[in-house]
Amino acid sequence: MRSMVDSEVTSTRSRERTRQRLLDAAAQVFAEVGLDAASVEAICDRAGFTRGAFYSNFETKDELFLELSGLVATERVAAVRSRVGELEQEGGFDLTPTDAFAIIEQVLDLSADDRLGVLLMSEIRIHALRNPDLAAAYLEQEAEMQRGVAQIVADIGRAKGIRFRVTADEAARIMLLVWEGAAVRAAMGGVDAEELRRRTSTELALVAQLTIAD
Amino acid sequence: MRSMVDSEVTSTRSRERTRQRLLDAAAQVFAEVGLDAASVEAICDRAGFTRGAFYSNFETKDELFLELSGLVATERVAAVRSRVGELEQEGGFDLTPTDAFAIIEQVLDLSADDRLGVLLMSEIRIHALRNPDLAAAYLEQEAEMQRGVAQIVADIGRAKGIRFRVTADEAARIMLLVWEGAAVRAAMGGVDAEELRRRTSTELALVAQLTIAD
DNA sequence: TGTATCCGATACATAGTTGTATCGTAATTC
DNA sequence: GAATTACGATACAACTATGTATCGGATACA
């Protein structure tokens, strides 16, 4: 006899798959046309379901958006955290001081490294501007990212004996802002992922250069 | 007999007033709830008209948004240009090198210096991400702003004998990105115009410090 | 004062979206 | 293999927004 737990798991498995497909589809559609212009039906079409599946899994479109925003934030932070962990392990970096900041580029590019990713983050950001709860979550996630980047900055400085003109936190904050702004401008030009990465990289290198004391 | 031109002017005057009231109302509503969530009726209510007035003056909501975006861009650029002109006239600046960049803060704060302004710019930006025409206009307006700021940077450098670690254009670009990012984060916190200005000012001063060679 | 025109209000037809209630099927349990 | 449950599909009702067509009043002009 299959235990009740097992049955719940099995049942939940299939359910989780539809939820996930709906979330993935929603991420695409939200990125493409925005939360408000995205009809529930458009999301379901994309996922290969009808609206019945949607309302069986989510209360409203807003609830799904909230959940999606949370997932995106969690994933970004986890990716940064794990990358920072790896770097802590590795210890020494055999890069030139300036190039060392390519690491930070990698970290930031861990998410939102293509046009749709940038669009989705922008969509989340603008709704955070209008929703205090979402704003708190957004700022907290960003603060966590900033801590991760600051740690890498400090590590690089220590390993390479680099002196900075501002604190690691300040450097990290500016890097995040510039990275985001550059990514948005690149996405506006409709460039592909490769070119997008190239452009953000260039701007980031500029900021890195600025933060390093001669 | 009033000339045909006069009558046209008169007629256009009143018409222009309603157009302007509709544009002003739309700017508010777009900032508050976003383009897609803003119904034509909500805009008309705010302006004190019914939808009849709207459709008598604009084809669609999108057309109005396009026009509004153009107006905002034109105003921003004009404000910066005129401020730059004033500074060119004045010539010498009797400020400390770091504080001199407060001028740039003034320039950037010429528009979007409150929560609604930041929201409207964000709304325009995210739609530029999805509309190539709007994107081109947005990037062009930003390039013009950048040229203005770069000119001020160069002027300050010349007047004060300051050496920079990057070109004036690069400095201006980073300042614009950081200013925008800081403004958005401040607006997310729901702060008032005063506090918003304080925060962007702080970040901008940090960037200014970074760009100045010791 | 009569008349023509302009312009915003009103009424209406239509389309699209949402959420719920019900149904049918496939999977699960014993 | 019969019964039950789960879950997505379908059908439906209500609401909202849009755009157009028409109306009415105010204004301009002779």
CA distances from A87 to A92, A100, A153, B33 (A): 9, 12, 11, 43
pLDDT tens-place string over residues A24-67: 999 999 999 999 999 999 999 999 999 999 999 999 999 999 99
Confidence of residue A10 (pLDDT cuts 50, 70, 90): very low
- Domain co-membership, A47 together with A101: no
Cβ contact (<8 Å) for B185 and A122?
no
- Domain co-membership, A77 together with A168: yes
**Residue-level pLDDT at B14:** 83
What's the gap in Å between the CA of A112 and the closest CA on chain B?
14
Cβ contact (<8 Å) for A188 and B128?
yes
The answer to whether B135 and B129 are in contact (CB under 8 A) is: yes
Confidence of residue B1 (pLDDT cuts 50, 70, 90): very low
Residue B145's domain comprises 65-211
- Domain co-membership, B172 together with B77: yes
For the record, the structure tokens of A74 come out as 């969690």
- Domain co-membership, A176 together with A71: yes
End position of a domain, from candidates B23, B38, B58: B58
> Chain B partners of A177 at a C-beta cutoff of 8 Å?
177-178, 181-182, 203
pLDDT tens-place string over residues A118-166: 999 999 999 999 999 999 999 999 999 999 999 988 988 888 888 999 9
Q: Does pLDDT of A101 surpass 90? A: no
For chain B, the average pLDDT equals 89
Q: Does pLDDT of A8 surpass 50? A: no
- Domain co-membership, B103 together with B12: no
- Domain co-membership, B113 together with B201: yes
- Domain co-membership, B31 together with B72: no
Highest mean pLDDT of the ranges A2-6, B94-98, B152-156, B194-198: B194-198
Burial class of B192 by CB neighbour count within 10 A (0 to 12, 13 to 18, 19+): exposed
End position of a domain, from candidates A20, A39, A58: A58
Coil/strand/helix, residue A212:
strand
Where is pLDDT greater, at A206 or A96?
Answer: A206
Alpha-carbon distance of B186 to B190, in angstroms, equals 7
- Domain co-membership, A121 together with A153: yes
- Domain co-membership, A107 together with A158: yes
Percent of chain B with pLDDT over 70: 89
Q: Write out which nucleotides of chain C lie closer than 7 A to a protein Cβ.
A: 6-11, 16-22, 27-30
CA B92 to chain CA centroid, nearest Å: 27
pLDDT tens-place string over residues B134-173: 999 999 999 999 999 999 889 888 888 889 999 999 999 9
What's the gap in Å between the CA of B81 and the closest CA on chain A?
22
Q: Does pLDDT of B7 surpass 60? A: no
End position of a domain, from candidates A11, A38, A58: A58
Alpha-carbon distance of A67 to A63, in angstroms, equals 6
Alpha-carbon distance of A49 to A32, in angstroms, equals 19
Alpha-carbon distance of B105 to A163, in angstroms, equals 28
- Which of B165, B166, B185 lies nearest to residue A139, judging by beta carbons? B185
B161 contacts: CB under 8 Å, gap ≥ 6? none
For chain A, the average pLDDT equals 88
- Domain co-membership, A80 together with A167: yes
pLDDT tens-place string over residues B28-80: 999 999 999 999 999 999 999 999 999 999 999 999 999 999 999 999 999 88
CA distances from B207 to A175, A180, B108, B135 (A): 11, 16, 14, 26
Query: How many separate domains does chain A show?
Result: 2
- Domain co-membership, A179 together with A104: yes
* Ramachandran bin of B148, using left for φ above 0, alpha for ψ from -120 to 50, beta for the remaining angles: alpha
- Domain co-membership, B70 together with B173: yes
CATH number of the domain that B128 lies in?
1.10.357
CATH number of the domain that A29 lies in?
1.10.10.60
Alpha-carbon distance of B142 to B92, in angstroms, equals 27
